[in-house]
């Protein structure tokens, strides 16, 4: 159990000293626990602090092979290996042992998937379907969709907003991954949509309460919006890419289609690297190729 206690201590440090997000911490915990559960079975004995120095490259490769055979994607395996390397760095410092060879294992290769945006027409179709009902939860979901699409927010960023953050001025400061902040402009339609939701919300929200709440008056969980979008996909015969996170992809792709430059989109999304934003250029070019092939008279 000592090894698992060390994992918990490591996760606590990542949370409070390095400001890792809750989603990243959850994934790192699952990945590292999975590795040590595997190692206990692989060795036929429970690993403890004294045995950490016995971990070899072959053990990690065997673990990755098991994950591949279980159908876990290369992207997930790359993330899991990254989590493990973070943890190894931590225990090298805490236990003063040499695990450098383990840090040199190459990350599994995978083809980078292009972002899959929702078309502007389909976003309007989603909004029209929700507006038809006009309950306070429908108005809340409309406000969330318009907010996320309007400023390129992640769902976690939107749900972390508090009542005191509203009304937004002409700009909004968003706290993203790793507590990194970015400033984005806010369209009047966003404030109007949120105000319509708040006018019908049955709960009296105080300054430190969450801005978006569920039926019990507590902070809305991202699963609620994901389920709502899943139902809309079925009802409206939408493609599988019509997810809450795709609203962020749509924001970037549609701006690019309207001739916004990559540097501006990078700032609005809060990407550290321009290469991450570059993916949206690939999406836009692919769309252009599709239109060309469908419409050129000599195709």
Q: What is the pLDDT of residues 25-36, one digit of tens each?
A: 888 999 999 988
At a CB cut-off of 8 Å and minimum separation 6, what does 185 contact?
Answer: 151, 170, 171, 172
Task: State phi, psi for 185 to the nearest 5 degrees.
Answer: -75, 150
pLDDT of residue 288: 47
Confidence of residue 277 (pLDDT cuts 50, 70, 90): low
Is 271 in the active site?
yes
Q: What is the mean pLDDT of residues 265-283?
A: 64
Catalytic status, residue 54: no
Strand-pairing partners, residue 174, are 182
Q: Note the pLDDT tens digit of each residue in 55-114.
A: 888 888 888 888 888 878 777 888 888 888 989 888 888 888 878 778 888 776 655 555
- Whether 254 is a known active-site residue: answer no
Q: Does residue 245 have an active-site annotation? A: yes
Instruction: Give me the catalytic one of 122, 154, 228, 249.
Output: 154
Whether the model pTM is above 0.85:
no
Distance CA 247, CA 154 (A): 8
3-state helix, strand, coil in the chain (%, to 5): 65, 5, 30
Q: pLDDT per residue over 200-226, tens digit each?
A: 999 999 999 999 999 999 999 888 888
pLDDT tens profile 97-155: 878 778 888 776 655 555 577 888 888 888 888 876 778 999 999 999 999 988 888 88
- pLDDT for 271 equals 66
Boundaries of every domain in the chain: 2-103, 120-294
Q: Which residue in the list 67, 182, 248, 249 is annotated as catalytic?
A: 248
Out of 1.10.3720.10, 3.40.50.1480, 3.40.50.12280, 1.10.150.130, the CATH code matching 2-103 is 1.10.150.130
Q: Which of 177, 219, 233, 279 is catalytic?
A: 177
Checking if the pLDDT of 256 tops 80, the result is no
Kindly state which CATH superfamily the domain 120-294 is placed in.
Answer: Intergrase catalytic core (1.10.443.10)
Average pLDDT, the chain: 81
* Token pair in block for residue 237: 């015969």
3-state secondary structure of 47: coil
Identified catalytic residue from 29, 131, 245, 279? 245
């Amino acid at each position: 159990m000592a090894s698992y206690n060390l994992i918990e201590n490591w996760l606590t440090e990542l949370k409070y000293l390095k400001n890792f997000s809750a989603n990243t911490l959850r994934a790192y915990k699952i990945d590292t626990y999975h590795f040590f559960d595997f190692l206990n079975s692989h060795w036929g004995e429970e690993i403890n602090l004294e045995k950490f120095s016995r971990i070899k490259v072959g053990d990690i490769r065997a673990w990755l092979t098991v994950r591949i055979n279980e159908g876990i994607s290369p992207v997930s395996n790359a993330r899991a290996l990254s989590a493990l390397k973070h943890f190894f760095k931590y225990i090298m410092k805490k236990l003063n042992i040499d695990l450098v060879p383990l840090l040199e294992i190459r990350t599994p290769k995978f083809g980078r998937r292009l972002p899959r945006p929702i078309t502007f027409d389909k976003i309007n179709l989603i909004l029209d379907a929700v507006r038809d009902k006009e309950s306070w939860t429908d108005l809340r979901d409309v406000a969330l969709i318009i907010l996320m699409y309007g400023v390129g927010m992640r769902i976690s960023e939107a749900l972390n907003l508090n009542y005191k953050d509203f009304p937004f001025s002409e700009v909004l400061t968003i706290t993203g991954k790793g507590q990194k902040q970015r400033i984005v402009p806010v369209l009047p339609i966003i404030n109007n949509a949120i105000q319509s939701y708040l006018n019908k919300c049955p709960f009296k929200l105080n300054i430190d309460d969450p801005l978006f709440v569920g039926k019990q008056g507590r902070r809305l969980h991202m699963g609620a919006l994901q389920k709502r979008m899943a139902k809309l996909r079925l009802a409206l015969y939408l493609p599988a890419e019509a997810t809450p996170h795709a609203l962020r992809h749509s924001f970037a792709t549609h701006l690019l289609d309207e001739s916004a430059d990559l540097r501006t989109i990078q700032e609005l999304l809060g990407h550290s690297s321009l290469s991450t934003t570059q993916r949206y250029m690939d999406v836009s070019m692919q769309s252009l190729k599709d239109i060309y092939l469908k419409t050129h008279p000599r195709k």
